């Protein structure tokens, strides 16, 4: 592609390098090679403008920066735009050129990974070549890559979408995190439908208020989806009403799901130990669904997923029947094993207050003994959630073990102390491996253990080092040790 092919997105008219071959797009000067267009983004740690000279020295075809940027004295053209992040997303979409025909995105504080995975599974069962993209990585026919960001940055994202489209994937579901939406990571994606699960406290280190956090999520509905596109909204959350209102105001086709849903109405649920039976009404017809997953919240996630699949063309009965074969996303109320006396051990990704509350409440109905929870909080993340999670664990579990999550650059003891301040009677075991082993050793018949916070993660970040660590592996090892 020539630099001139980005006209309309970038102000390239009249610059000397307009016929240069563009060999890539990047917002990281360290990745720049000759011919790459470098986007100088104002970030949380640094201002990309500082690296413009570095990018130019590495052979950048042009530098894109915000209007008012002070970049000067470079031998390469500097293109000034209003919103460099938007320009990056649109340029990446144009550069990589192709994406799966039918793409949906889901936002909300909890449930995004599950909904993305479930929507992919429904499509697969309906016979489509489908992919999902999110926190746990990328899953597509013949592909299962471990993930890092929930919503990849635009360059990685569009490169991936191109690969998926080239591999014949026609349907893809992706997670839209508030960071991703706010940072315009999805602005180049052509979306057919959007979903909303719920809103609770998260990322209060990044968003100044919950209203600001909600506004970031609303970008999916009021900015990214084209007029008339379906917005599948979970109807039973305190934030459902303002979300519905915003989607309606944006001219979207609002489809609500849940107990108060009009599109898919949940009439009744019966919980069993590791599964639940739901009655769902769609278009006047009642469907009995045997959902092979534990947790009330999984029904909500399943309904949002079915709504997304149906609204993009999957027949209703096919989508609802597909729910009977759903597999939970890795590390989401994931039953890793049971002790010889039958006590189940779940690994769950609850690392924020609402998720912890939901997961602990979900296992109570089938726990005749004690609910035991092992958890911590990540360092360099929202500090305010720590005592809130301590209080929730103390209120909803019988035994609370506070351990380390990913301390990152923080002192682990300080993080634990903030949780423990609101968790009287909790046991403190900093070493996560030891905490898991001691918790498994405590289990009696009828008890349930939840190891929360890290879910699918395969590493633990202490300082700047990430060491291999898997809650799944530790639980399995502890169960084996106990059985021996």
Ligand X SMILES: N[C@H](CCC[C@H](N)C(=O)O)C(=O)O
Interacting span for ligand UAG (CB under 6 A) from 57-65, 76-84, 174-182, 218-226: 174-182
User: Which residues are near Mg ion by CB under 5 A?
Assistant: 112-113, 135, 150
Shortest CB 274 distance to ligand UAG, Å:
26
Q: What are phi and psi of 437, to 5 degrees?
A: -65, -40
Question: Quick check: 33 and 59 in contact, CB under 8 A?
Answer: yes
Our finding on whether 169 is near ligand UAG (CB under 6 A) is no
Our finding on whether 461 is near ligand ATP (CB under 6 A) is no
Our finding on whether 207 is near ligand ATP (CB under 6 A) is no
Question: Quick check: 437 and 474 in contact, CB under 8 A?
Answer: yes
Shortest CB 223 distance to ligand ATP, Å:
20
Q: What Rg value do the Cα atoms of the chain yield, rounded?
A: 24
Shortest CB 103 distance to ligand UAG, Å:
17
Shortest CB 287 distance to ligand X, Å:
34
Out of 17, 99, 102, 113, point to the residue binding ligand ATP (CB under 6 A): 113
Our finding on whether 375 is near ligand ATP (CB under 6 A) is no
Residue in the structure block whose two tokens are 């409440």: 361
Closer residue to ligand ATP (CB): 27 or 110: 110
Report helix, strand or coil for 384.
coil
Our finding on whether 41 is near ligand UAG (CB under 6 A) is yes
378, interface contact from ligand X, Mg ion, ligand ATP, none, CB < 5-8 Å by kind: ligand X
Interacting span for ligand UAG (CB under 6 A) from 40-48, 298-306, 341-349, 418-426: 40-48
Our finding on whether 454 is near ligand ATP (CB under 6 A) is no
Task: Please enumerate, as own/partner, the contacts of 9-14 that have beta carbons within 8 Å and a separation of 24 or more.
Answer: 9/87, 9/90, 9/91, 9/94, 10/37, 10/62, 10/64, 10/79, 10/81, 10/87, 10/91, 11/79, 11/80, 11/81, 12/62, 12/77, 12/79
454, interface contact from ligand UAG, ligand X, ligand ATP, none, CB < 5-8 Å by kind: ligand X
Interacting span for ligand ATP (CB under 6 A) from 12-20, 104-112, 122-130, 248-256: 104-112
Partner residues linked to 443 by β-bridges: none
Sheet with 285-291, strands from edge to edge, namely: 143-145, 137-140, 130-134, 171-175, 102-107, 193-196, 230-234, 253-258, 264-271, 276-282, 285-291
Our finding on whether 45 is near ligand UAG (CB under 6 A) is yes
Planar angle of CA 413, 416, 421, nearest 5 degrees:
120
Our finding on whether 48 is near ligand UAG (CB under 6 A) is yes
Measured between alpha carbons, how far is residue 456 from residues 50, 141, 397 in Å?
Answer: 36, 20, 22
Contacts of 339 (CB under 8 A, 6+ apart): 345, 440, 443, 479, 482, 483
Residues within the interface to ligand ATP (CB under 6 A): 108, 110-114, 135, 150, 175, 197-198, 297, 300-301, 329, 332-333, 348-350, 354-355, 358-359, 455
Residues within the interface to ligand UAG (CB under 6 A): 27-30, 41, 43-46, 48, 51, 135, 149-151, 153, 177, 179-180, 183
């Amino acid at each position: 592609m020539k630099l001139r092919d980005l006209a309309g997105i970038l102000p390239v008219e009249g610059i000397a390098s307009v016929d240069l071959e563009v060999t890539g797009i990047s917002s990281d000067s360290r990745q720049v090679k000759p011919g790459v267009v470098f986007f100088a983004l104002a970030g949380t740690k640094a201002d990309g403008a500082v690296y413009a000279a570095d990018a130019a020295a590495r052979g950048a075809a042009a530098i894109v920066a915000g209007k008012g940027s002070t970049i000067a004295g470079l031998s390469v053209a500097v293109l000034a735009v209003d919103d460099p992040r938007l320009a990056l997303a649109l340029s990446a979409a144009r550069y990589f050129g192709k994406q799966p025909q039918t793409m949906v995105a889901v936002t909300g504080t909890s449930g995004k990974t599950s909904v993305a995975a479930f929507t992919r599974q429904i499509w697969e069962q309906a016979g489509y070549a489908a992919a999902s993209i999110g926190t746990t990585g990328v899953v597509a026919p013949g592909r299962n890559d471990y993930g890092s960001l929930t919503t990849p940055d635009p360059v990685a994202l569009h490169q991936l979408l191109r690969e998926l489209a080239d591999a014949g994937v026609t349907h893809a579901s992706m997670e839209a995190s508030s960071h991703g939406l706010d940072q315009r990571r999805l602005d180049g994606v052509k979306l057919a439908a959007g979903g909303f699960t719920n809103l609770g406290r998260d990322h209060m280190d990044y968003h100044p208020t919950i209203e600001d956090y909600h506004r970031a999520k609303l970008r999916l509905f009021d900015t990214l989806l084209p007029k008339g596109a379906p917005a599948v909204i979970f109807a039973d959350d305190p934030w459902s009403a303002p979300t519905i209102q915003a989607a309606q105001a944006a001219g979207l086709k609002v489809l609500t799901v849940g107990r108060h849903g009009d599109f898919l109405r949940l009439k009744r649920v019966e919980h069993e130990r590791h599964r639940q039976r739901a009655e769902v009404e769609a278009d006047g017809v009642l469907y009995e669904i045997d959902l092979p997953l534990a947790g009330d919240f999984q029904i909500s996630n399943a309904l949002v997923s079915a709504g997304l699949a149906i609204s993009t063309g999957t027949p209703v009965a096919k989508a609802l029947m597909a729910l009977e074969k759903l597999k939970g996303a890795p590390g989401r109320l994931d039953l890793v094993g049971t002790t010889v006396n039958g006590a189940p051990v779940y690994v769950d990704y609850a690392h924020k207050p609402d998720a912890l509350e939901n997961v602990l409440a979900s296992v109570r109905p089938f726990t005749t003994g004690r609910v035991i929870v092992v958890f911590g909080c990540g360092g360099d993340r929202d500090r305010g959630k720590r005592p809130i999670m301590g209080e929730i664990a103390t209120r909803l579990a019988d035994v609370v073990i506070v351990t380390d999550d990913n301390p990152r650059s923080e002192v682990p003891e300080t993080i634990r102390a903030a949780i423990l301040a609101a968790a009287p009677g909790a046991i403190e075991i900093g070493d996560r491996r030891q905490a898991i082993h001691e918790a498994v050793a405590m289990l009696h018949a009828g008890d349930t253990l939840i190891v929360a916070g890290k879910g699918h993660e395969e590493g633990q970040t202490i300082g700047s080092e990430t060491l291999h660590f898997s809650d799944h592996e530790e639980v399995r090892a502890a169960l084996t040790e106990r059985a021996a």
